[in-house]
Amino acid sequence: MKTVRILCLNKQQNGIMNKEKLSYIEETGILFEQLGMTRMAGRIFGLLIVSDQNTVSFNHIQEVLNASKGSISGTTKQLIAVGFIEPVSLSGDRKTYFRISKMRAGTILKARLSLFYKFSDVIDKGNALKEKEDEISDWLREISAFYKWLGGAVDELIIRWEVVKDTIMENQAKDHEKSEK
């Protein structure tokens, strides 16, 4: 397996990115793009996932992904806003570091739920401003109703998740152990 050594500006250790990790980073970028985010958002998220360090410096992200400061800066702000990553300050170090967010899955999704209701409200407002009823009006009512319903359904799922997640995660860990043997 070919290994590429990249100087990590975090003085704690050098970062090592092998071909498999770099491929994973790109795969995550493509997935994020399909989800409506930028490929760079996925690459940064993927890098933080496969990093063997708890925190990764802004400079290390820039170096590994061969991206501009502006691209990394804007994208990390987006990832922070959606709750996927968080900035970290290290005592005595003025550099910016990032890590995968420690926010719970349900909390991240709940923060996004309010957008479902806002989207529905914007659709309703636009439909009310139309001067005539037509097929588009019907479609707008359906979309609005769907997003209101979806918001409520997801909220119920989050409550259920909190009840069953420990059992599910224990079973997943057992399955992982079995596959490792």
Mean pLDDT (the chain, rounded): 86
Q: Are 44 and 58 spatial neighbours (Cβ–Cβ below 8 Å)? A: no
* DSSP code at position 51: -
According to the model, what pLDDT value does residue 113 have?
A: 82
pLDDT tens for residues 52-81? 999 999 999 999 999 999 999 999 999 999
Predicted confidence band of residue 4 (pLDDT cuts 50, 70, 90): very low
Predicted confidence band of residue 16 (pLDDT cuts 50, 70, 90): low
The per-residue b/e assignment along 147-158, b for 16 or more CB within 10 angstroms, e otherwise, is: bbeebeebeeeb
According to the model, what pLDDT value does residue 21 have?
A: 93
pTM over cut 0.75: no
In this model, does residue 144 exceed pLDDT 80? yes
Q: Are 150 and 174 spatial neighbours (Cβ–Cβ below 8 Å)? A: no
According to the model, what pLDDT value does residue 116 have?
A: 85
In this model, does residue 3 exceed pLDDT 70? no
Range of weakest confidence among 5-9, 14-18, 114-118: 5-9
How confident is the model over 165-171, as a mean pLDDT?
91
Residues 172, 33: Cα–Cα separation, whole Å: 28
